[in-house]
Amino acid sequence: MPDSRHDTCALLWASLAVASALLSSSSLADDVILIGGGYTPLRSEAQIEANVIWAQETLRQQGLAVETWFTDGNASGADVVTVEHTEGSPTEPLARVFGDRYLERLRYREHQVQNVTGSTDADELLPTLQTRLADSDDDVLLVYNGHGSESSGQPADVSISLWNDSSISAREMHELLADSDTSFRYIFTQCFSGGFHRLAYEDADQGLALSEPPRCGFTAESAYRLAEGCSASLAIGDYRDYSTYFFAALSGRDRAGKYILNDPDLNEDGIISPREAHLFTLEEAHSADLSRSSSEDYLEAWQPWYLRWLPRQPQLPDNEYARLYRNIATRLGIELDNNTAKQLKLDIRTLQARLHELTLTRTSLRQRERELQDLMIQSLMRQYPALLGPYTAGFAELVNSGTIFDIANSIAATPDYTDLVAMQSSDDALDTQLLETERELVQRMKLLRMRRLAHLVDQLARHGSQLSQDRYAALLSCEERPLQ
């Protein structure tokens, strides 16, 4: 039975994808600017590359013209880092003892993204973006997949981290868009990406007056939180960032190629709009991201002082966020009644305490790990002082004579090494537990956020001025417009 259901779903999705492509090809195309990659080879994880390739394919399948900017562009030199999961290299015992266990597993290579226009170095990208945005007659969609930095001041000072340690802040992008006459939409998946929602407003710093022409978009996180996807686990399915779900909704398949089972097409018009993809992401993502759209950002900023502090009514109004709340709660097995919100807060406190406990355990474990490493290093130094300087002639001699492998073998034979490996395995297990606990915690935070948004939509309808309601409707309309 499950197989036949899966086949039916697959058939439905294939039909939908074809219909979507046909509809798309008959309209004017959005210009897509896809920017991706890290800011140095060490922070240019292959998972970002995988997401960029996937986003590129998905958007092209939608009939869109995609211009891709990735790390160093077409320059030669390693610009992507992968993590090898295989253990047991001849030098592994040394790497474990000298604290280079993570670096030992890293491998660097050229990126494999096709049709790259240029480098994301801000010096190269910024002028090109300026020209592209000023000259474009079509709507522009900007998709960013990479890292981001937080701001100690205004949300508009958050930035995307680009190649060669350069960056572009939301404020700079806001200035770039000042000369543009076309509609602009964005998808930012990096940490602290929420600050880029200020692009939707006329003023980068304050106020609720919207930009003209309209701008809207989606971010993986608020301006104050890290996003998931910063981990370097590279096996497909291990990492789940905003684009993992967003592009799955657009393409009808997940990143591993499996058809998605839940239909993101809420209005059943046969086309998945960016907003539908976002709502799908909110519902389906079991990740550590608290994603948001520009219209949601607007709702939160709009709430007037006399409503902001009031306790909400336990009864939820009837809207799409209430539906999402109920669906997510059901998926998580959370009972829905008048005490649910209270219970969610208790759960959050419990999970936060668990996170704290895990962090303390890890800190103490790492402390013991370091003490053991120091003891082992001291013992090794007495026998092989050349190990002290890994870039010296004495060290090179150890390597050339093959002594380094004998040292590694002798380390591996000690009981201390067995203890160290056990500690480091526990450390890895703790990392996994921390990530899982964080995901569980964020799911509950998301439920509370869905409740809040459900009430905010209702409050805007009841208490908002006509102007406020028109602005919200304009953002919704911008988010709902299909990619074409």
Partner 1 sequence: MPRRYRFSLFPIVLAAFITVISWPVFVACATAIGYFMGESWQLEAWHQEPRLHLLNYFSEGWIASAPIAVGIGILAAIDWLLFARKRLLSFFAGVLLPLAGASAALLLWHDPMELLPTLACTGVALAIAYRMAEFARRVTD
Check residue 356 for interaction with partner 1 (CB under 8 A): no
Indicate the burial class of 426 (C-beta count within 10 angstroms; 0-12, 13-18, 19 or more): middle
Sole binder of partner 1 in the list 24, 161, 222, 294 (CB under 8 A): 222
CB of 342 to partner 1, least distance (A): 3
Contact pick of 345, 370, 400, 428 for partner 1 (by CB under 8 A): 345
| Residue 148 tokens, joined | 């981001």
Q: Which of 313, 378, 383, 466 binds partner 1 (CB under 8 A)?
A: 313
Q: Which two tokens stand for residue 320?
A: 């799409």
Q: Which is nearer to partner 1, 50 or 450 (CB)?
A: 450
Could you give the CA distance from residue 82 to residue 47 in angstroms, rounded to a whole number?
Answer: 8
Q: How far is the CB of 321 from partner 1 (least distance, A)?
A: 14
User: Least distance in Å: CB of 142 to partner 1?
Assistant: 26
Please tell me whether the peptide bond between 213 and the residue prior to it is cis, using omega within 30 degrees of 0: yes
DSSP letter at 17?
H
351 binds partner 1 (CB under 8 A): no
- Residue 449 lies near partner 1 (rule: CB under 8 A): yes
Q: What is the DSSP string of 196-248?
A: GGGGGBSSSSS--PBPSS-EEEEESS-TTSPPTT-S---STTT---HHHHHHH
Least gap, CB of 300 to partner 1 (angstroms): 9
CB 285 within 8 A of CB 244: yes
Beta strand spans in 150-211 (E):
159-162, 166-169, 184-188
**Nearest distance from residue 314's CB to partner 1, in Å?**
6
Stretches 5-13, 50-58, 236-244, 448-456: which one binds partner 1 (CB under 8 A)?
448-456
Q: Is 207 in the site for partner 1 (CB under 8 A)?
A: no
Q: Is 314 in the site for partner 1 (CB under 8 A)?
A: yes
Binding of partner 1 at residue 326 (CB under 8 A)?
no
Q: Does 191 bind partner 1 (CB under 8 A)?
A: no
Query: What are the phi and psi torsion angles at 116 (to 5°)?
Result: -85, 130
Instruction: Give the x/- contact pattern for partner 1 in 269-308, rule: CB under 8 A.
Output: ---------------------x--------------xx-x
d(C-alpha 209, C-alpha 468), whole Å: 9
Q: Using the rule CB under 8 A, is 341 a contact of partner 1? A: yes
Task: Tell me the window of 173-181, 217-225, 243-251, 368-376 that interacts with partner 1 (CB under 8 A).
Answer: 217-225
Closest separation in Å from C-beta 451 to partner 1: 8
Burial of 379 (0-12, 13-18, 19+ CB in 10 A): middle
Size of the site for partner 1 (CB under 8 A): 29
CB of 349 to partner 1, least distance (A): 10
What whole-number distance in Å separates Cα of residue 13 and Cα of residue 264? 11
Hey, which residues between 417 and 446 contact partner 1 (CB under 8 A)? Answer: 445
Place of tokens 């909400």: 312
Q: How far apart are CA 150 and CA 192, in angstroms?
A: 6
Which positions touch partner 1 (CB under 8 A)? Answer: 222, 224-225, 290, 305-306, 308-314, 339-345, 348, 352, 445, 448-449, 451-452, 462-463
